[in-house]
């Protein structure tokens, strides 16, 4: 009681009405007067009582360390710094009377209070804002994890095409270190595009969306075929997704060549060849030698069933051949009798 009485006995001459004025007592903002050396709460307004859940008498018997959940040494250091340097604002976790933790923004400055200087603190509850910021940080962390773990190269370029961010896949694909890559522009990895067209980056992406295939140049002068998507972000920067499709393109080219080779062999072979669907028993393709042998035109055969064309001299042999194909998937050196359009065997 003597300590509380000592605090209440402090009556400043130049601020003697602050405790009773509407500015302090009835202000919606939480306000406190704190002794910087000890952290004693010298006064608190109605908003402080309402927010913390303590009566004024309880608050005046406490130190700010009993409310602030940071380590006592850290609270003392920041309190001393605020007193000496006048820190604009600090975010603190404060514990209420019911045990709930709230994040508050404290703006403190030193004022003359009787014969001593004390801290005058205005406190705002920023819990929701802090939670939003924490959620934003979590989202950024999740995005960064996805950014780094992506198998595609992801780069961010400014409006001039200079890289300002890149993931590890971009470094691996282009064979640059991250610091080296962030010194480059998009024209450095697409020299052929910019050399041939003399385009500026802004002209190349003037539609803000670009999806195409380009030859990309790496640090070691090797190249790869990349599928690139460029989109403009809301802040004016550009996001590039690059996928290495060299292997895919090589596979497609091999298939094309194989298909062309098969087509040549199929068409020019002197041996009659036909392709048919074993389930529907319909002809899909025949070569010229097959047409010459049977006497039919291609249009008369394609899409028609075996039975329609009466190729087989023996229906029993046809069923036997189909059964063998379904069971063994292949037949070799089996003589069969075929009827031509003129009913010749």
- Which distant-in-sequence residues (6+ apart) come within 8 Å of 285 by Cβ? 266, 274, 275, 302
* CATH number for domain 269-345, candidates 3.30.70.3450, 3.30.450.20, 3.40.109.10, 3.50.50.60: 3.30.450.20
- Which distant-in-sequence residues (6+ apart) come within 8 Å of 84 by Cβ? 110
CA atoms within 13 A on the CB side of 112: 6
Q: What confidence score (pLDDT) does residue 87 get? A: 66
Burial of residue 84, with CB atoms counted within 10 A of its CB: 0-12 exposed, 13-18 middle, 19 or more buried: exposed
Residue reference for tokens 């400055």: 109
Q: What are phi and psi of 202, to 5 degrees?
A: -60, -30
Q: What confidence score (pLDDT) does residue 129 get? A: 82
In 190-281, beta strands by DSSP E:
209-217, 223-232, 238-244, 274-277
CB 181, CB 164: distance < 8 Å: no
What is the distance between the alpha carbons of residues 332 and 336, in angstroms, rounded to a whole number? Answer: 11
Residue 335 DSSP SS3:
coil
Angle, CA of 243, 248 and 254, to the nearest 5°? 160
What is the distance between the alpha carbons of residues 34 and 94, in angstroms, rounded to a whole number? Answer: 15
Q: Any idea where the domains of the chain sit in the sequence?
A: 2-130, 150-248, 269-345
What is the distance between the alpha carbons of residues 308 and 77, in angstroms, rounded to a whole number? Answer: 98
Q: What confidence score (pLDDT) does residue 78 get? A: 86
Q: Which fold has domain 150-248?
A: Beta-Lactamase (3.30.450)
Domain 150-248 in the same topology as domain 2-130: yes
Q: What confidence score (pLDDT) does residue 22 get? A: 64
Task: Give the pair of three-digit tokens for residue 266.
Answer: 């199929």
- pTM here? 0.47
Angle, CA of 25, 40 and 78, to the nearest 5°? 100
Q: What confidence score (pLDDT) does residue 1 get? A: 46
Q: How far is residue 187 from each of residues 27, 165, 179, 206, 241, measured CA to CA in Å? A: 60, 16, 17, 15, 15
Residue 108: name the closest of 97, 116, 118, 95 by CA: 118
The single-letter DSSP state of residue 162 is: B
What is the block-wise mean pLDDT of the chain (345 residues), using blocks of 10 residues? 48 48 79 92 93 95 93 87 78 92 89 84 87 76 81 91 93 95 92 68 62 89 91 87 91 87 87 86 88 89 82 79 82 80 79
What is the distance between the alpha carbons of residues 98 and 92, in angstroms, rounded to a whole number? Answer: 17
Q: How far is residue 248 from each of residues 120, 222, 343, measured CA to CA in Å? A: 69, 17, 50
Domain range 2-130, CATH architecture? 2-Layer Sandwich (3.30)
CB 104, CB 125: distance < 8 Å: yes
């Amino acid at each position: 009681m003597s300590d509380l009485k000592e605090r209440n006995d402090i009556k400043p001459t130049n601020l003697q009405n602050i405790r009773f004025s509407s500015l302090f007592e009835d202000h919606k903002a939480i306000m406190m007067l704190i002794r910087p050396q000890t952290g004693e709460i010298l006064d608190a307004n109605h908003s402080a009582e309402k927010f913390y859940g303590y009566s004024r008498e309880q608050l005046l018997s406490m130190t700010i360390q009993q409310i602030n959940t940071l380590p006592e040494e850290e609270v003392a250091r920041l309190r001393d710094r605020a007193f000496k340097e006048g820190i604009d604002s600090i975010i603190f976790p404060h514990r209420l009377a019911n045990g709930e933790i709230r994040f508050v923004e404290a703006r403190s400055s030193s004022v003359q209070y009787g014969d001593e200087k004390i801290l005058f603190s205005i406190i705002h509850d920023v819990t929701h804002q802090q939670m939003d910021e924490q959620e934003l940080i979590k989202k950024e962390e999740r995005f960064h994890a996805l950014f780094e773990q992506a198998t595609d190269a992801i780069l961010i370029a400014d409006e001039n095409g200079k890289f300002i961010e890149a993931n590890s896949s971009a470094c691996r694909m282009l064979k640059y270190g991250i610091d080296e890559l962030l010194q480059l522009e998009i024209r450095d990895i697409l020299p052929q595009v910019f050399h041939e067209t003399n385009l500026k980056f802004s002209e190349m992406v003037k539609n803000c969306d670009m999806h195409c295939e380009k030859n990309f140049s790496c640090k070691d002068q090797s190249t790869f075929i990349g599928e690139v998507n460029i989109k403009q972000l809301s802040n004016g920067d550009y996001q590039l997704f690059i996928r290495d499709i060299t292997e895919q393109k090589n596979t497609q080219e091999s298939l094309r060549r194989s298909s062309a080779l098969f087509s040549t062999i199929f068409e020019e072979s002197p041996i009659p060849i036909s392709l048919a669907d074993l389930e529907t028993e319909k002809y899909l393709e025949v070569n010229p030698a097959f047409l010459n042998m049977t006497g039919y035109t291609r249009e008369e055969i394609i899409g028609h069933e075996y039975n329609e064309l009466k190729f087989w001299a023996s229906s029993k042999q046809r069923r036997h051949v189909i059964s063998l194909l379904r069971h063994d998937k292949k037949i070799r050196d089996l003589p069969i009798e075929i009827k031509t359009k003129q009913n010749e065997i």
